[in-house]
Amino acid sequence: MARVHDAVGTTAWRAHRMSTNIPRSLFDHFVVIEDIRDEKKRRHLLIDMLVIAITAVICGADGWTQVAAFGKAKEAWFRQFLQLPNGIPSHDTFGRVFSVLSPEVFEARFREWVASVREVCGEDIVAIDGKSLRRSHCRKKGLGPLHMVSAWSVANGLVLAQQATEAKSNEITAIPEVLALLELKGCIVTIDAMGCQKAIAKDIVVQGGDYVLALKGNQSTLAQAVEELFIDADAIDYAGWPMDSYETIDRGHGRVETRRYFTLTAVDKIPQAADWEKRNMVGMVQSERQVNDKTTAETRFFIGSIGGDAQRFGWAVRNHWGIENGVHWCLDIAFREDESRVRDRQAANNLAVMRHIALNLLKKDTTVKGGIKTKRLVAGLDEDYLANLLFEQGA
């Protein structure tokens, strides 16, 4: 259970914020985190360290040495709204504090902030997927890379929640924990084959959502049955079968990608699907990619609860990859997450949450044209833009 400050600590921060004429921001959600350090030994306020670290990550910092260096370079700017009773903490202090700060508490405040800025915009796709932080392993402690399972709102372009695991194989246990943190009413949840489990489908439906789950090795019997159903229906050109289809063609950069989406609602013909909550369709996607004279093809199968509209099915499947392009790719390329050498588990987890905070803020911003790397650079150079991210986008 998340522990928080008493009202005195929270009131002190808000009084200080008002006295410095700084508007409400995302940091109002983090000030309630309890500082569990020995009060007699504290030289720096926890909220000050949180503000400096999150801001530094937005502007390009990838570790505690860079966070401390950024804080010292921007000390005069930070003093406009932080108390900093003993100046900027050292990189060792940042490392120690974030190694004892509870990731569960930090993530809870992160979700609270996201809920305050998330907009209701009709039916939303919530994509669930995992990503390993490759260099976060620690051989001395016998720990493999930290693996983060994240939830991504396609309509809002926001990371909604995350859950850390010790290995990719643990996604099956992490996914229900992530789902339990989310408001899913009116959403379609998409998950790759790792999360294609009856219990996960039931959790989604119980929380008011629908699902489209990819079928593969971990549901090989069901996947084979769905494939055979489509083979039987295709053999008679789908005559008499409740089928719908939809096709998209994308061209660009010398390539042509054709995707054909098929749905069948004759799920009762698949005995293996009987125990899946609210299942009412199975889907097939045939993808063909042509680059110059080379053509590659792939066929994938799905089970879902969204009905037989093939266009809706295609919309859900295509948008699932938003978490790959909008989150994982950005974290790898713009934040160099895979190169992070922070190996303390709690510190690495907390730093991952800060990257998600930074990513959400930068994606929400529309005032600077360019990608995430460009926006991080501008934020580090332009204090007005940085203040806009923190106190306007983050409010």
**CA neighbor of 314 nearest in space, from 129, 232, 306:** 306
Indicate the pTM of the whole model: 0.87
pLDDT category of residue 7 using cuts at 50, 70 and 90: very low
User: Of 4-13, 56-65, 97-106, 315-324, where does mean pLDDT reach its minimum?
Assistant: 4-13
Structure tokens at 41: 């030994």
Q: List 132's β-bridge partners, or say none.
A: 147
Give the tens place of pLDDT for each residue, 126-150.
999 988 776 555 566 655 667 889 9
Give the tens place of pLDDT for each residue, 282-316.
999 999 999 888 999 999 999 999 999 999 999 99
- 119 touches 112 (CB < 8 A): no
**CA neighbor of 304 nearest in space, from 285, 336, 276:** 276
Structure tokens at 117: 């800025």
Residue type, position 214, single letter: A
**CA neighbor of 201 nearest in space, from 193, 189, 192:** 189
pLDDT category of residue 342 using cuts at 50, 70 and 90: confident
Q: How far apart are CA 295 and CA 15, in angstroms?
A: 64
Mean pLDDT throughout 338-354?
84
| Percentage of the chain exceeding pLDDT 70 | 88
pLDDT category of residue 355 using cuts at 50, 70 and 90: very high
Burial class (CB in 10 A: 0-12, 13-18, 19+), 294: exposed
CB atoms within 10 A of CB 111: 19
- For residue 208, pLDDT beyond 70: yes
**CA neighbor of 74 nearest in space, from 309, 375, 381:** 381
| Percentage of the chain exceeding pLDDT 90 | 63
* 337 or 289, higher pLDDT: 289
Give the tens place of pLDDT for each residue, 64-106.
999 999 999 999 999 988 999 999 999 999 999 999 999 999 9
